[in-house]
Amino acid sequence: MQLPVTSLGKALRVEWVDFYGDHTMHACISDEAGQRTEVCIDGRKGSCTRFRLFQQGRHPNKRGAVLVELGAPEEGIVIPLLSRYLDSHGPKASGLTEYGWELARETLLRYGEPAVSGTSAQSSEAEPGAAADRGR
């Protein structure tokens, strides 16, 4: 099981950011001691948690992913970290395609927006250009 964000130590940094085909953004955050955890922002159309933060998991539907309440301390740690990471890295330096980098910026801008009800859920099939161009 991954650590909660608030259990990490000092000098937090984003190691990488990537996307699933359903536009869910996920990232790895580590501290000075090398402890890591993963976070994600739900990007699924039609999801009641769209544009909400989850910790301890790469995707909202993965085992162990925990929804972070709006206004929680984790928000105040993760959102600024991701924002600084994107601001200090261009698409190539962050390992994302131009489209992925723009999608990441848009996701952060829309973070916490209320979910729109009455829409159907988007499939998890990959969309062209949605994921990063790297071979992990």
The Cα 58–Cα 64 span in angstroms is 9
For the entire predicted model, the pTM comes to 0.81
Q: What is the pLDDT along the chain (136 residues), one digit of tens a residue?
A: 899 999 999 999 999 999 999 999 999 999 999 999 999 999 999 999 999 999 999 999 999 999 999 999 999 999 999 999 998 887 777 888 889 889 999 999 999 888 765 444 444 333 434 444 434 3
Task: Return all residues near 15 (Cβ < 8 A) that are at least 6 apart.
Answer: 27, 28, 29, 30, 36
